[in-house]
Amino acid sequence: SVCTPSRYALLTGRYPHRAKDRAMLRWIEPPHETGGMSDSEITVAEKLQELGYATAVIGKWHLGDSEKYFPMKHGFDYWWGLANNAYHRAYDKGLPMYENNTIAIQPVDLARLTRSYTEKAIGFIEQSVAADKPFFLYLPHTYPHGPLHCSPEFCGTSAGGLIGAAIEEIDWSTGQILAKLKELGIDSNTLVIFTSDNGPSPRQSDGAYPLRNVKASVYEGGIRVPAIARWPGNIKGKRVESAPAIMMDWFPTFMALAGGEMPTDRPHDGRDISPVLLGTGARADSQFYANYIDPWTGDVILPVYEIMEHRSGVWKYVALNDGELYNLEADISETTNLKDAHPKIYNRLKNEYDFFTQSIANAPAPGDIDGDGMPDKWEVANGLDPTYTIDAYLDPDGNGKTAYEEYAGSATPKWVTVSTPLVPVAPEYFERLRELQQQAMSTCVVKGCTGKSCFTKECHQRIMDRIKDFKP
């Protein structure tokens, strides 16, 4: 439910837990994360190259910030875009725009980013058509991920403010590309997919109502995103499809439509959904797992979600707290835990989830899903969130001990009393804490190192000093 894992899943057709580099479980953010997607991975771009397709990625890569991880190592003929998000913290000369493996512009004009992507995308399409080659264009826009920018043509024109303007510019970009396909006479021979990597950020939007929670969550607000498919003459328009699908499905789907074959030397988790798109059938199965990973902890793994079709609804098992079960067909907002009401369904899904976590690499440690050293049950009993590592650093009752120190010393935290209801902390609180923690950490990480071992005592103290006075 965050950037990097979703991109890895899209391009490889595999859960990010299968990756050699654990960086694929987090979002890559220089300078404290230096990993990337291994060139041993086989991407959809590589397989389409083998079938004679011209391939390009135009936009945010976010799968490694050095040449050995760049798109040219993964089956792309051309790249124009940013290595990561639109942050400057890792670049002393400003944010670089890459063309293939070379910095083309530095610093890049962030206000013109969407327009630049659009122009390059149209240029690639025109070149491919002129060369009489089929093409695969992967266009991961930077916005509306923060920090937000918009061009002068769109800034100040949206009732939704800056984020509204950024989204309207993406809409304009999509329209320009669709118009170019029609102008070139290839729109009926071109499949266009519009989707997103995760739900909205709470600091840049009003959330995902009626869905529960937001980005970096395994609830529906973090993982349920738009997926629009357009292929005139092949996909019937104005149709809403209720069948669930996942990012990894696009690789096998494209292979089926292009007449290619999936790699046979490794497991793949995606399924061909071309029958769903064409209205001729269903997905091969309906089990999915999603994960949230807190990037600041270095090595926490949290695959916590499964969904399965059932005769009486669409059921979802969540491995948080003592386990949760929701019927998404009847309760899209995930307000009612049906674990006790439907024990057979709950136990079946839990057993399948447990089997999955035991059979795949990088499974979570049982009982401490955020890896902060405090058992999930203890966190829940004491009003903390078992999915956020940051609360281990906090001192909510102001007695000079962090939450983790309270647990390690078997103390009963003073912030929990009989008369104090356990009210969940708002997501915005943890979002702000992450921001403060990130600012502190960006200056005190050992060069060339990743993971918890990189942080010195001085770095840890700096983090503590930065967040100790911040209260919910």
Q: How far apart are CA 270 and CA 260, in angstroms?
A: 15
Quote the CA–CA distance of 90 and 442 in Å, as a whole number: 8
Q: Do 247 and 10 contact (CB within 8 A), yes or no?
A: yes
- Is residue 193 helix, strand or coil? strand
Distance (Å, rounded) from C-alpha 205 to C-alpha 225? Answer: 15
Residue 459 bears catalytic tag: no
Structure-derived torsion over alpha carbons of residues 213, 215, 216, 219, reported in degrees to the nearest 10 = 40
Pair 40, 238: CB distance under 8 Å? no
Q: What tokens appear for 178 in the block?
A: 């669709």
Helices 427-441 & 457-467 angle (0-180, nearest 10): 140
Q: How many CB atoms lie within 10 A of CB 102?
A: 9
CA 281 to chain centre: 28
Give the span between the Cα atoms of 291 and 311, in whole angstroms.
Answer: 26
Task: Number of helices (H) and strands (E) in the chain: give both, helices first.
Answer: 12, 10
**Marked catalytic residue, from 3, 17, 74, 268:** 3
| Helical pair 161-183 and 113-130, crossing angle rounded to 10 deg | 10
Tell me how far apart the alpha carbons of residues 387 and 253 are, in angstroms, rounded to a whole number.
Answer: 33
Helix (H, G, I), strand (E, B) or coil at 361: coil
Enter the tokens of residue 279.
């209205």
Q: Is 298 left (phi over 0), alpha (psi -120 to 50) or beta?
A: left
The catalytic residue among 17, 62, 141, 145 is 62
CA nearest neighbour of 290 among 299, 302, 273: 302
Residues facing 313 on adjacent strands = 310
Please state, as a whole number, how many other Cβ atoms lie within 10 Å of the Cβ of residue 324: 18
β-bridge partners, 459? none
Q: Which residues are designated catalytic? A: 3, 62
